[in-house]
Structure 1
Amino acid sequence: MSLADTIRKTMVPVHREGWPFVAAFAVGTIIIGWLWSPLFYLGLVLTAWCAYFFRDPQRVTPVDDALVISPADGIVSAVGPAVPPVELGLGDTPMTRVSVFMNVFSVHINRAPVRGKVTTIAYRPGKFLNADLDKASTENERNGLVIETAHGPLGVVQVAGLVARRILCWVKHDEDLSAGERFGLIRFGSRVDLYLPAAATTRVFVGQTAIAGETVIADYRDDTETPLSRTS
């Protein structure tokens, strides 16, 4: 492997949404370093962390409409029945909910779990409780999508966390998404909930580490064929 390839694999790109924050941290580092030099090194660490937070690595996503892929990096914090948020319009019958909790060291780019059309986008203001708490799904600020798929509607909800203060969603109503496609970001600690169609069988457990765009959360498969994959 050449030196250029090694550098390319080591240096993960920073998403464009993160550059203003990285620049602000860098300027702050210069200022506090000028006021008191020992603080300069603390500022460097914080600037490096900020760039790390907004990293946007490539992912290899399985290409198979029978699979539901993780929308977020983090720890699976809940798997079980729950009534979806009312604004999604998915009814009041409990659906299987899978929650992925992102801490401040996780990649925070959110990716589409399935291929389909966005039929609903619903933002709801709320509290900023610890996103690892179960009640965060109903009480915290959130932004929900409903994606229409060949297996029925699937809900994806971005939930703000204790220190999160901005949910970003880049898709529009009636937009077609591919599995693994980037659709949003939550700044500084958060969680993503999936509300699965009845036919889906979950393939993860609480405490498992999930990787956005790669980890299979659930499937509709009746066989053991190996799905194709793509890099994005």
Structure 2
Amino acid sequence: MSREGIGPVVGLVLFTGIVLAGAIVTARVHLQILSGISLLLTLLVVNFFRDPERTIPEGEDYILSPADGKVVEIRREFEDTYLKGETTRVSIFLSIFDVHINRVPMSGRVEYFRYRKGSFVQAYKSEASEVNEQTAIGIENGSRKILFKQIAGILARRIVCNIREGNTVRSGERFGMIKFGSRVDIFVPENVELRVALNQKVKGGESIIGVFK
């Protein structure tokens, strides 16, 4: 389990235990129903904050998926904040049932970091990339650069990002999460060969998004 989930899970377990004890002692129907709902919610939250180990592919040319989820959009786009050129944007939608731990897609140095407040449009929509609350992170490794974004959704109202400009990062390492449904975009330059397709399910730190030529 991720450390961000410890507080919510402990709180829910204590609440469920108290309600369940009350239901057993008093035999009141409303407490029995409440304890059942609380137990179900606890299981859902435990599932949401799970943090499975991943087998990180070895290879300096690989760009890994920064998140678990479904590829909902692949499009050509001019990226004007960091890469400043023609790119391919791969957008990954995370449902509440996906692992929400985010992982670094490429080893290197964090050269660019920006946080921007914004709206909370449904994360699977294309405009979410432009208008929603987000962090943008640019990594450089020699002549190679990529940009990726953590984007809040209609339910996700907190972005956790533990890296900042100047940090050195390793491909596949954990760097944060977005709570309760979200989206991650990754922008790759023209000298990258894509290895994913639309509607494909990917795993953070394990699936290969593309390969530098």
Q: TM-score, normalised by structure 1?
A: 0.84
CA displacement at 1:145 relative to structure 2: 0.3
CA displacement at 1:214 relative to structure 2: 0.7
Aligned 8 A contact 2:86 2:189 in 1: no
Of the three residues 31, 34, 42, the one matched with 1:39 is: 34
Cα deviation, 1:144-184, whole Å, max 9, x if unaligned, reads: 10000234221010000110010010012211111101111
What one-letter code is carried by the residue in structure 2 that aligns with 1:165? R
CA displacement at 1:30 relative to structure 2: 4.1
1:103 equivalenced with 2:98 (yes/no) = no
5 Å matches for 1:122-137? 122-137=114-129
CA–CA distance in 1 between the matches of 2:136 and 2:207?
Answer: 21
Of the three residues 25, 29, 49, the one matched with 2:12 is: 25
Aligned 8 A contact 1:120 1:145 in 2: yes
Q: Tell me which residue corresponds to 1:66.
A: 61
Secondary structure at the aligned position of 1:46 is classed as helix
What one-letter code is carried by the residue in structure 2 that aligns with 1:210? V
Of the three residues 62, 73, 83, the one matched with 1:90 is: 83
Q: Tell me which residue corresponds to 2:105.
A: 113
Distance 1:137-1:28 versus aligned 2 partners, 3 A rule:
same
Q: Tell me which residue corresponds to 1:226.
A: none
Q: Tell me which residue corresponds to 1:81.
A: 76
Aligned 8 A contact 1:151 1:199 in 2: no
Q: Tell me which residue corresponds to 1:211.
A: 203
> Unmatched 5+ residue regions in structure 1?
1-13, 222-232
Corresponding residue pairs, total? 205
Cα deviation, 1:113-138, whole Å, max 9, x if unaligned, reads: 11110011100000111100000000
CA displacement at 1:31 relative to structure 2: 5.3
Q: Tell me which residue corresponds to 2:27.
A: none
> Unmatched 5+ residue regions in structure 2?
23-29
Percent of paired sites with the same residue: 37
Give the root-mean-square deviation of aligned CA atoms.
1.5
CA–CA distance in 1 between the matches of 2:166 and 2:194?
Answer: 27
What one-letter code is carried by the residue in structure 2 that aligns with 1:89? Y
CA–CA distance in 1 between the matches of 2:64 and 2:113?
Answer: 20
Of the three residues 123, 139, 144, the one matched with 2:136 is: 144
CA–CA distance in 2 between the matches of 1:200 and 1:136?
Answer: 24
CA displacement at 1:80 relative to structure 2: 1.4
Of the three residues 159, 174, 183, the one matched with 2:175 is: 183
Of the three residues 144, 147, 162, the one matched with 2:154 is: 162
CA–CA distance in 2 between the matches of 1:95 and 1:32?
Answer: 53
Aligned 8 A contact 1:151 1:197 in 2: no
What one-letter code is carried by the residue in structure 1 that aligns with 2:2? H
